[in-house]
A = this chain, B = another copy of it.
Amino acid sequence: MTTDAMTTGQAQAPRVAKAAVEAALAELNGLVVDTEPLRVQRRSRDFHWFSPLLREQLDHVTADAIVSPADEDELKRVLAACYAHDVPVTVRGAGTATSGQAMPLQGGIVLDMGYLNRVLAIEPGWCRAGAGCVMGVLDHALRERGQALRVHPTTVASATVGGFVASGGAGVGSITWGTSSEVGAIRAVRVVTMEAKPRTLELRGSHVRLALQSWGTAGVITEVELPTAPLTRWLERVLGFATLEAALRFADRLAHADAILKRLVSVVAAPAPGRFLFPHGVDEATHVVLVMVAETAGEALTELITEHGGEALSVAGSPLYDYAWQHTTLHAAKHDRGWTYLQVAYAAPDPVLEVLATAAALTPDEVIPHVEFLRMGGRVACTGFPLVRFTTDLRLAELMAAHEAAGGVVHNPHVFTLEDVGPGWGGKAKRAFKREVDPKNLLNPGKLRNAV
């Protein structure tokens, strides 16, 4: 994180001239274009409001028009026109990300990918879909063929596959299949370049990484090819524990149990479960672990729960991932917008101790631990999304420092550029690719600070 990025105030990007946008739109006869200001503003937003800092910095951001190409040919016409008139283009899936990544800092055009939403192929072990295909729709189509998505965000009902690749990262299923960064996690993406004559590139294998977590800055993703998992019936359990340590130890044990097929292992510390997630059924002293495991592992799960002093709670809520990952934050923020979050990677050898050390150093009035277990590079890892009661920028910076002092690595979610989010974002190879596919830096400008 950088101190610069912590400074509040509106993002100071130069706005594209109206005349340029109008000139570009004039070349797009026959395309679906929306310039009605309220609708345009609504579709220029994402879940940036999870962060009070981004709320202040980005709330004014809006595009000049939303363009919805019907297919790749129309998309190329949009890109060529915008290239000719130097109009910024920001690609948007469902707008479910939280870093303002789909928000057009310099105005211009927001590309709605909603029509490029076809399921293109379902084969044994893999599938391919248009970037605008909603992940839940794809999962449903897979289900009929005995397959399922391996990893998806908790917003699967609205998030698109293109947005998933562009924002990258992990989610439901990562406890078995790891993150999108793993070799083989994404088979291929098809990308259209932002040039006078837009080209189509098929990135396969490790080349996928060039477009991964790029927030739409590195070409426009039009198709995605993903490996699939076999369809599995899942048990969902909300488990109560008397102490945070017991909850974490149980989750850590389960995360390491190779013979139990897992989809979700989330720890939410008290008082969040009783206050924000399950007010009718969990008291505020109870720490919970949210678990999804294969139905056939029920007996083994029950034994582990008993061994660790846990208790299965009777609370409604299916799918259970609606309470995990960023949905945990959503429930807290819906309860009171004063709650925001941090993102912290805990490292080996004992992430549980790091989480406990952080918890001991802070009070649950201000910070409530929330940890997702996943696999990363072949190892069980855990990523914290602690709920944070926001007061001031300075205090938020202090809380990040406190998490780092306890051994965590903070990925700052309160900034809107790739470089500021944390280590590993926006590296050299990506930058070179960016220059190749978007020489004028018109794709989502401002998100990659050193793009030019």
Could you tell me which A residues sit within 8 Å of B by CB distance? 124-126, 146, 150, 176-178, 182-185, 187, 204-206, 227-228, 230, 232-233, 255-260, 294-297, 299-304, 375-380
Measured CA separation A222–B296 after assembly (Å):
22
A233 touching B297, Cβ below 8 Å: no
What chain B residues lie within 8 Å of A204 (beta carbons)? Answer: 299
A206 touching B124, Cβ below 8 Å: no
Q: Tell me, rounded to whole Å, the shortest Cβ–Cβ distance linking A205 to chain B.
A: 5
B296 touching A256, Cβ below 8 Å: no
The 4 residue pairs across chains A and B that have the minimum distance between CB atoms: A256-B378, A184-B300, A178-B258, A125-B296
What chain B residues lie within 8 Å of A182 (beta carbons)? Answer: 257-260
A183 touching B300, Cβ below 8 Å: yes
* A-side interface mostly: mixed
| Contact among B124, B146, B294 for A233, CB-based, below 8 A | B124
5 contacts between A and B (CB under 8 A): A125-B294, A184-B301, A204-B299, A227-B297, A258-B376
What chain B residues lie within 8 Å of A304 (beta carbons)? Answer: 183
Task: Decide yes or no: A258 and B295 within 8 Å by CB, A124-B233, A205-B300 being known contacts.
Answer: no
Task: Decide yes or no: A299 and B256 within 8 Å by CB, A124-B233, A230-B230, A294-B125 being known contacts.
Answer: no
Measured CA separation A140–B328 after assembly (Å):
44
A297 touching B259, Cβ below 8 Å: no
A183 touching B126, Cβ below 8 Å: no
Measured CA separation A182–B125 after assembly (Å):
27
Measured CA separation A303–B184 after assembly (Å):
9
Measured CA separation A233–B304 after assembly (Å):
32
| Contact among B232, B257, B375 for A258, CB-based, below 8 A | B375
A299 touching B230, Cβ below 8 Å: no
Q: Tell me, rounded to whole Å, the shortest Cβ–Cβ distance linking A230 to chain B.
A: 3
Task: Decide yes or no: A378 and B257 within 8 Å by CB, A297-B184, A299-B187 being known contacts.
Answer: yes
Q: Tell me, rounded to whole Å, the shortest Cβ–Cβ distance linking A294 to chain B.
A: 6
Task: Decide yes or no: A205 and B303 within 8 Å by CB, A184-B259, A257-B183, A258-B178 being known contacts.
Answer: yes
Task: Decide yes or no: A259 and B177 within 8 Å by CB, A184-B300, A300-B183, A303-B206 being known contacts.
Answer: yes
Measured CA separation A202–B267 after assembly (Å):
34
Q: Tell me, rounded to whole Å, the shortest Cβ–Cβ distance linking A410 to chain B.
A: 24
Task: Decide yes or no: A299 and B125 within 8 Å by CB, A256-B377, A378-B257, A379-B379 being known contacts.
Answer: no
What chain B residues lie within 8 Å of A124 (beta carbons)? Answer: 233, 295-296
Q: Which among A146, A255, A256, A258 has the highest number of chain B CB atoms within 10 Å?
A: A258
Residue of B nearest to A293 (CB): B184
Task: Decide yes or no: A296 and B258 within 8 Å by CB, A124-B233, A303-B205, A304-B183 being known contacts.
Answer: no
B183 touching A259, Cβ below 8 Å: yes
Q: Tell me, rounded to whole Å, the shortest Cβ–Cβ distance linking A15 to chain B.
A: 41
Q: A205-B299, A230-B230, A258-B377 provided; 5 other pairs, C-beta below 8 A?
A: A125-B233, A150-B259, A206-B303, A256-B379, A258-B378
| Contact among B146, B227, B299 for A259, CB-based, below 8 A | B227
What chain B residues lie within 8 Å of A205 (beta carbons)? Answer: 299-300, 302-303
What chain B residues lie within 8 Å of A375 (beta carbons)? Answer: 258
A255 touching B126, Cβ below 8 Å: no
Measured CA separation A251–B356 after assembly (Å):
35
| Contact among B150, B185, B296 for A227, CB-based, below 8 A | B296
Measured CA separation A204–B303 after assembly (Å):
10
What chain B residues lie within 8 Å of A178 (beta carbons)? Answer: 258-259
Measured CA separation A258–B206 after assembly (Å):
15
Q: Tell me, rounded to whole Å, the shortest Cβ–Cβ distance linking A76 to chain B.
A: 27
Measured CA separation A377–B257 after assembly (Å):
6
Task: Decide yes or no: A126 and B296 within 8 Å by CB, A146-B146, A206-B303 being known contacts.
Answer: yes
